Amino acid sequence: MRVAISILLGLVIGIIGTVSVMNTLHERNPLPHAVMSVMAHHVGALHTAVRAQRCDAVQARQHLTRLLETQADISEAFPGVDQPFLDEAAKLHDKTQAALLAAPANCPALAAAVKPIDEVCQSCHQQYR
């Protein structure tokens, strides 16, 4: 019985969380779009560098720094989201910081540094986008 109640409670909390994210997305707030677009720009620039085999340490650092700064606005852009959403945002912060600390100076290093970042983007989008 207790297990059933916990499961039910979990479901209800999950639904409330999803509805609150959906509501946030449907308000005409330009910030979510802006934050995501700026992040996509910087991640895109890093992918382009890897594809073109032109990986410059200074440029990589600039894009990773801007990515890190921009994602600090995620929680402000999505007010009222649930904890798992904020956990994904925190994970993105950790992976981006790790990439920055790795200071990738060539393409294999840059590709390896960006991969965990891509994975967090995808993981959050699968759940919330």
Q: For residues 34 and 41, what is the distance between their CA atoms, to the nearest angstrom?
A: 11
Chain residues 46-75 in contact with ligand HEC, contact rule CB under 6 A: 74
Name the one range near ligand HEC by CB under 6 A: 11-19, 57-65, 98-106, 120-128: 120-128
Q: How far is the CB of 12 from ligand HEC (least distance, A)?
A: 21
Alpha helices in the chain (DSSP H): 2-26, 30-51, 57-71, 74-77, 83-102, 107-128
**Tokens representing residue 83 in the block:** 């904890």
Binding residues vs ligand HEC (CB under 6 A): 25, 32-33, 36-37, 39-40, 43, 74, 85, 88-89, 92, 117, 120-121, 124-125, 128-129
